[in-house]
Amino acid sequence: MKSPVFNQQGEKIKEIILPEKIFNIEFNNELVHQIAVSQASNRRQGTAHTKDRSEVRGGGKKPWRQKGTGRARHGSIRSPLWKGGGVTFGPRNEKNYKKRIPLLMKRKALFMVLSAKLKDEKVLLIDELKTETSKTKEIKKILNNLPIKKGKTLIILPKAERKIILGSRNIPDFQTMLANNINALDLLSVTNLIILEDSVAKIKEVFLK
């Protein structure tokens, strides 16, 4: 399938043939949802933690005798019923949120998202992205020339371009990512994709093994 390629000035200069196995895959909602949820779960740090009754301070002795006081019986001030006591069923940092994702399913979902973005005309191919400096205004000037829709935009680079990465990180709604690191979850979180021509070859090399 053919797709137009633009230059930095926003001019259409040629067309290239995109790999059918990557950019022409039928979308499957169930698969993409499953992969996106799994990848989001794998990113959870699990740092939320509450102390149970064995970890809070105090409670070395019975607060008062069992009978004869007219009050309810208690054995420890560590009880969850007490202020400052342990927490029942609270979050624990030893919980593991990791989910195993089969490689073929993960790649299939990635191709589906790329295909859907291309079908919805939210993918822009450019021949190259070069700047003399890493100044934000220079990168912003180039991006303003490109015919992209409003919304969050991800620039997919074939390799680490220091000037591009530094220059675009302060631009609202723009972010960069290397072609070998793309995944379904990150692509779903943005509206538009700017893909360099060399990035297409890199995606094919990495994910079509």
Q: How confident is the model at residue 41 (pLDDT cuts 50, 70, 90)?
A: very high
Q: What is the mean pLDDT of residues 154-178?
A: 90
Q: How confident is the model at residue 50 (pLDDT cuts 50, 70, 90)?
A: very high
Pick from 206, 207, 10: which is nearest to 124 by CA? 10
For the chain, give the percent of residues with pLDDT over 90. Answer: 66
Query: Quick one: pLDDT at residue 30?
Result: 95
Fold of 2-44+100-207: Ribosomal Protein L4; Chain: A; (3.40.1370)
Instruction: Name the pTM for this structure.
Output: 0.82
Query: Quick one: pLDDT at residue 22?
Result: 94
Give yes or no for residue 209 having a pLDDT over 80.
no
- Asked whether the CA dihedral 45, 50, 51, 56 is positive or negative, the reply is positive
Query: Quick one: pLDDT at residue 189?
Result: 94
For the chain, give the percent of residues with pLDDT over 70. Answer: 100
Phi/psi for 29 (5° steps) reads: -60, -45
Rounded to whole angstroms, how far apart are CA atoms 179 and 157? 6
- Domains of the chain, by residue range, sit at 2-44+100-207, 47-96
Listing DSSP states for 49-66 in one string gives ----TTTSS---S-SS-S
Give yes or no for residue 66 having a pLDDT over 80.
yes
Q: What is the pLDDT of residues 4-40, one digit of tens each?
A: 999 888 888 889 999 999 999 999 999 999 999 999 9
Q: Cα 92 from chain centroid?
A: 24
Beta bridge partners of 196: 126
Query: Quick one: pLDDT at residue 38?
Result: 95
**Alpha-carbon separation of residue 169 from 82, 97, 199, 200 (angstroms):** 49, 30, 19, 22
Contact 139, 171 (CB under 8 A): yes
Rounded to whole angstroms, how far apart are CA atoms 86 and 104? 45
Q: How many CB atoms lie within 10 A of CB 55?
A: 11
Give yes or no for residue 194 having a pLDDT over 80.
yes
